[in-house]
Amino acid sequence: MAYLDEAGHKLVSDAVAEAEMQTSGEIVTVLADRSDGYTDIALLWAAGAAFTAMSLFAALPQPFLDLWDGLIGGWSHEWTTGELASMTIALGLIAFAATWAAQLWEPVKWLLVPGPIRTARVHAMAQRQFKVGAEGRTHGRTGVLIYLSMSEHRAEIVADRPIAEKVDAEVWGEAMGDMLGHIAAGRIAKGLAVGVRDVGFVLAQHFPRAEDDENELPDRLIEV
């Protein structure tokens, strides 16, 4: 899905162009809907629910059997081993299907994805985007990626090694804080533009623009 209109894209692209007027660094911006599908997490929850349902039945079968007897008219029933095994499997399948179906609703899905996993997946995707779009693609290895993943509510700033060796992670944290403050308030384009401005300011201190500097990477916002 698209988060920004043409005006929003232009605001971010103009911010990149302006920031790069003061530095030999190259800034790439990527806006993503999400960094992963988390199918494996949904599968784990569904499998866990199935195992729990079967375990409860194995440990406390009588309430389930009484419920079933009530549904078929209240007559007691002598359950065979095969019938009990079939009911155990059926309960597991029902629990699996119900849990999987519940996670098709986005609010439930994201509620069940632990925060550390979201952070790790966003970090991994930011690294991949950086390798594809910025790493080692400038003359002085001065590329920086600003990556924003909306569904996870996470952002990353990834830089080429020469930049990382000179700029502490805390400095990027300050830029991140300025950016996310606007984004949390719904001002996505403004937040990205502010992040670009702050990153450009940091780059200008360590990698000032040379007279023969060329724009080596596109200024436009990449929305995926």
Please answer whether residues 122 and 7 qualify as being in contact, where contact means their C-beta atoms are separated by less than 8 angstroms: no
Compute the distance between CA of residue 4 and CA of residue 7 in angstroms, rounded to an integer: 8
pLDDT confidence of residue 76: 60
Compute the distance between CA of residue 137 and CA of residue 27 in angstroms, rounded to an integer: 11
For range 17-29, the mean pLDDT? 88
pLDDT confidence of residue 25: 81
For range 42-59, the mean pLDDT? 92
pLDDT confidence of residue 135: 61
pLDDT confidence of residue 177: 87
pLDDT confidence of residue 134: 64
Query: According to CATH, what is the number of the domain 6-36+115-223?
Result: 3.10.310.50
pLDDT confidence of residue 171: 81
pLDDT confidence of residue 224: 84
Give me the chain's average pLDDT, please. Answer: 86
For range 29-57, the mean pLDDT? 94
Give start-end residues of each CATH 3.10.310.50 domain in the chain. 6-36+115-223
Does pLDDT of 92 surpass 60? Answer: yes
Pairing of strands 26-32, 154-159: unpaired
Does pLDDT of 78 surpass 80? Answer: no
pLDDT confidence of residue 196: 93
pLDDT confidence of residue 123: 94
pLDDT confidence of residue 68: 67
Does pLDDT of 81 surpass 70? Answer: yes
149 bridge partner residues: 32, 154
The two structure tokens encoding residue 11 = 């605001």
pLDDT confidence of residue 103: 95
- Least confident piece of the model among 66-75, 108-117, 162-171, 214-223: 66-75
Q: Which residue has the higher pLDDT, 99 or 166?
A: 99
Q: For tokens 């929305």, name the residue.
A: 223
Q: How far is CA 58 from CA 74, 85, 98, 218, in A?
A: 22, 9, 20, 61
- Least confident piece of the model among 17-21, 83-87, 125-129, 211-215: 211-215
Q: Give tens-digit pLDDT for 109-159.
A: 999 999 999 999 999 999 998 887 666 566 667 788 999 999 999 999 988
Does pLDDT of 73 surpass 70? Answer: no
pLDDT confidence of residue 66: 72
pLDDT confidence of residue 122: 96
